[in-house]
Amino acid sequence: MLSRARRLLAVLAIAGVGLLVTPSVWADGGGGGGGTVTCPVGVTDCSVSASSSPPPSGGSSGGGTGGGSGGGSGQCSFSGHTFPCYNALFGWFDNQDGCYYQLMNPQPDASSDLWQGHKPGDGAVYSSDCPLIIGKGLPGGGARWFQNPPPGYGGAVNVQALAQQAVSKMALQGPAIGIAPPPGAKGVVGLPVWLWDNVSATTWGPNTASASAGAVTVTATGSVTQIVWDMGDGQSVTCTGPGEAYQAAFGSAQPPCGHTYTQTSASMPNGRYAISATATWVVNWQATTGQTGQITVTRKSASSVVIGELRDLNN
């Protein structure tokens, strides 16, 4: 594999930047991690000539959508030179400091100085490669902590929109309602009605899906955190688990998720209590840009139950 210096020299060639032969120096590259200059094969002393003028305000700050070695379709500019906004080897170009950034994978150990006093999960550490360095020195870089992704990272991709796309792919549903007594049978005042979700990836989770745009991928994983059962008699039941399917051996035991009616359903429309079950899905997502987030959605299902008195069952 080509050394970082040789690969960066290839990028410099694309940008039309000339090389000057000067004594070797220590290069910082703006990434906070200086190191000894390593010259290309056959060159003993080397550095890069770059303008010290501030970066221009023009140019695209993103838009790279391709994944090939030639980068994305967008072009970024820095110090009078043009670079692909995305390069498969280096990542995304920040036209504010002239460096490419790529999320370090895996992230450094929590004890690493690269976190600059921060903790894992509070931002992320990115590796940087800087084709142009203000002053003398070879293309350099290092590692740098960012609370939010560097400017231009991910191009024009809206990671929140990608997260929503991932959620859509999950086809999340309301609970697959299980109820005892089942539809068509009659419950009794004073005896518990058992409630449960027939668990699946789409009714309880976990459920995982991804969505991509260009070089950016968002992966989302969601699970139900609670189901609120509206029992149709003015009462509701909140269950943090899916409940348990009733079995005859349970007899009149109390269900982990259930409700006991105190009046019959005779006065209700169609003589039934209308039941609705609203599941709250919490979806956590992470983008390859290092951004993370959480989306909460609800899904609803409906059923009904007939409740009579014990004497009704004996008639």
Domain ranges of the chain: 4-146, 159-314
Amino acid 259 reads H
pLDDT of residue 274: 96
pTM of the shown model: 0.61
| Run of H or E residues at 189 | none
What is the rounded distance in angstroms from the CA atom of residue 84 to the CA atom of residue 95? 10
pLDDT at 134: 47
14-32 pLDDT, tens digit per residue, is: 555 544 332 222 222 223 3
Average pLDDT of the chain, as a whole number: 77
What burial letters (b/e) apply to 205-214, b meaning 16+ CB within 10 Å? bebebbbbbb
Percent pLDDT > 90 in the chain is 48
The fold for domain 159-314 equals Immunoglobulin-like (2.60.40)
CA distance 103 to 216: 11
Predicted pLDDT at 183: 82
Question: What are the residue ranges in the chain where pLDDT is below 50?
Answer: 1, 18-73, 134-138, 314
